[in-house]
Chains A and B, each alone.
Chain A
Amino acid sequence: MLTNAILVAFALVGLAVLLSFIRLIKGPDMPDRILALDTLYINAIALLILLGIYLRSPLYFEAALLIAVMGFMGTLALSKYLLRGDIME
């Protein structure tokens, strides 16, 4: 029951990753690409947590937390770069 649900969830989240990746390549403007990257790292967190439940191992939360922190920093830096032309002034 749980294993099947996780396999279906893998498929759904994988499709979500694919869609946001297409937006990352296509995205007509820079903010679209930043938004697609933001969505990609959120999808990666979901995939990692699902993998953690699937393999019954609590090891993957640290990686998920690290991706959350670093992804936020990346979004912040890219938006700041578009806004000011410089990351730190």
Chain B
Amino acid sequence: MLDILLALLILLGSFFTLVGSIGLFKLPDFYMRLHGPTKASTLGVGAILVASAIYFSTQTGHLSLHEILVTLFLFITAPVSAHLMAKAAIHIKVRQIKRTRQTDATK
């Protein structure tokens, strides 16, 4: 029972990690590509870390909290780094396709 739950969580996490990287690889311009890896960092690594927390908690018998630390850190830092990368892209006027909305900042 526990094995099935852990296997499902691990497969879900690795699937979303792959989806994030496919998004990074395939989407046409930088502002769209910025959306892809957020899935990998939140749901992907999040699910794998939850699986690991459950596994080591049942394995050792006491609560394993290292994973929560990593999850918390990733969840705090992901928006900050995405914001800074978007700001840098706007600053150096990175190329964009026509479909991406033009604003005063990105023209």
Contact = CB atoms under 8 A, between A and B. Distances in A.
Interface of A: 1-2, 4-6, 8-10, 12-13, 15-17, 19-20, 22-23, 28-32, 34-36, 38-39, 42-43, 45-46, 49-50, 52-53, 56, 58, 61-62, 64-65, 68-69, 72, 75-76, 79-80, 82-83
Contacts of B85: 31, 34-35, 38, 75, 79
Interface in B35-56: 36-37, 40-41, 44-45, 48-49, 51-52, 55-56
B40 A80 contact: no
Contacts, number: 168
Given A15-B21, A16-B18, A29-B94, A42 B11 contact: no
B31 to A, nearest CB: 9
A46 B48 contact: yes
Given A42-B41, A65-B66, A35 B33 contact: yes
Interface in B1-55: 3-4, 6-8, 10-11, 13-15, 17-18, 20-22, 24-25, 30, 33-34, 36-37, 40-41, 44-45, 48-49, 51-52, 55
Contacts of A9: 10-11, 13-14, 48
Contacts of A35: 24, 30, 33-34, 37, 85
A9 B10 CA distance: 7
Interface string B87-107: 111011011000000000000
A49 B81 contact: no
Interface of B: 3-4, 6-8, 10-11, 13-15, 17-18, 20-22, 24-25, 30, 33-34, 36-37, 40-41, 44-45, 48-49, 51-52, 55-56, 59-60, 64, 66-67, 69-70, 73-74, 77, 80-81, 84-85, 87-89, 91-92, 94-95
